[in-house]
Structure 1
Amino acid sequence: MASPLQTHPRLRSALHQLQGVPPWALLSLVMNGLLFITIVVMLRQLGQGGDAVLSQANAFAADPYVPVAPFEPSLGPRHNLDYEQWVALLAAEAEAVVAIDAPRQNILLGDSLTLWFPANMLPGRKTWINQAISGESSGGLRDRLYLLDQTDPEALFIMVGINDLIWGGSEADLVYNVRRMINYLRQTHPQARVVVQSILPHGGEAATWEGRDRLLTIPPDQIRTVNSQLKAVAIETGVDFLDLYPLFVNGDGYLRADLTTDGLHLNQNGYMVWRTALALINETEFQP
Structure 2
Amino acid sequence: MASPLQPYPQLRSVLQRLQGVPPWALLSLVINGLLFITVVVMLRQLSRAGDDVLRQANAFAADPYVAVAPFDPELGRRHSLDYEQWVALLAAEAQAAVALNAPRQNILLGDSLTLWFPSTMLPGRKTWINQAISGENTGGLRDRLYLLDDTSPEAVFIMVGINDLIWGGSEADLVYNVRRMVNYLRQTHPEARVVVQSILPHGGETATWEGRDRLLTLSPDRVREVNDQLKLVAVETGADFLNLYPLFANGDGYLRADLTTDGLHLNQNGYMVWRTALALFNETDFQP
Instruction: Supply the distance in 2 between the matched residues of 1:204 and 1:94 (Cα, whole angstroms).
Output: 36
Deviations 1:108-143 (A, max 9, x none): 000000000000000000000000000000000000
Give the equivalent residue in structure 1 for 2:101. 101
Q: Are the aligned partners of 2:240 and 2:286 in contact in 1 as well (CA < 8 Å)?
A: no
Give the equivalent residue in structure 2 for 1:167. 167
Structure 2 unaligned spans of 5+: 1-22, 26-68
Q: Does 1:118 align with 2:121?
A: no
Query: Higher relative contact order by CA 8 Å / sep ≥ 6: 1 or 2?
Result: 1
Over aligned residue pairs, what C-alpha RMSD do you find?
2.0
Q: Are the aligned partners of 2:70 and 2:116 in contact in 1 as well (CA < 8 Å)?
A: no
Aligned-residue sequence identity (percent) comes to 84
Q: Are the aligned partners of 1:154 and 1:191 in contact in 2 as well (CA < 8 Å)?
A: yes
1:81 Cα deviation after fit: 1.1
Instruction: Supply the distance in 2 between the matched residues of 1:72 and 1:243 (Cα, whole angstroms).
Output: 24
Q: Are the aligned partners of 1:259 and 1:266 in contact in 2 as well (CA < 8 Å)?
A: yes
Give the equivalent residue in structure 2 for 1:243. 243
1:72 Cα deviation after fit: 3.8
What letter corresponds to residue 88 of structure 2 in structure 1?
A: A
* Superposed counterparts of 1:109-188, under 5 Å: 109-188=109-188
1:285 Cα deviation after fit: 2.7
Distance 1:162 1:114, change over 3 A: same
Corresponding pairs, count: 219
Deviations 1:180-226 (A, max 9, x none): 00000000000001000000000000000011011111011100000
Give the equivalent residue in structure 2 for 1:36. none
Instruction: Supply the distance in 2 between the matched residues of 1:111 and 1:79 (Cα, whole angstroms).
Output: 12
Distance 1:71 1:223, change over 3 A: closer
What letter corresponds to residue 272 of structure 2 in structure 1?
A: M
Q: Does 1:278 align with 2:239?
A: no
Instruction: Supply the distance in 2 between the matched residues of 1:100 and 1:286 (Cα, whole angstroms).
Output: 26
Give the equivalent residue in structure 2 for 1:234. 234
Distance 1:131 1:104, change over 3 A: same
What letter corresponds to residue 88 of structure 1 in structure 2?
A: A
* Superposed counterparts of 1:257-276, under 5 Å: 257-276=257-276
Please give the secondary structure, in 1, of the residue aligned with 2:79. Answer: helix
TM-score of the two chains, using structure 2 as the length reference: 0.73
Structure 1 unaligned spans of 5+: 1-57, 61-69
Q: Are the aligned partners of 1:59 and 1:124 in contact in 2 as well (CA < 8 Å)?
A: no
1:284 Cα deviation after fit: 2.4
1:71 Cα deviation after fit: 6.9
Instruction: Supply the distance in 2 between the matched residues of 1:160 and 1:93 (Cα, whole angstroms).
Output: 20
Q: Are the aligned partners of 1:59 and 1:125 in contact in 2 as well (CA < 8 Å)?
A: no
Please give the secondary structure, in 2, of the residue aligned with 1:134. Answer: coil
Please give the secondary structure, in 1, of the residue aligned with 2:182. Answer: helix
Deviations 1:18-51 (A, max 9, x none): xxxxxxxxxxxxxxxxxxxxxxxxxxxxxxxxxx
Instruction: Supply the distance in 2 between the matched residues of 1:136 and 1:111 (Cα, whole angstroms).
Output: 5
Runs of 4+ in 1 over 6 A off after TM superposition: none
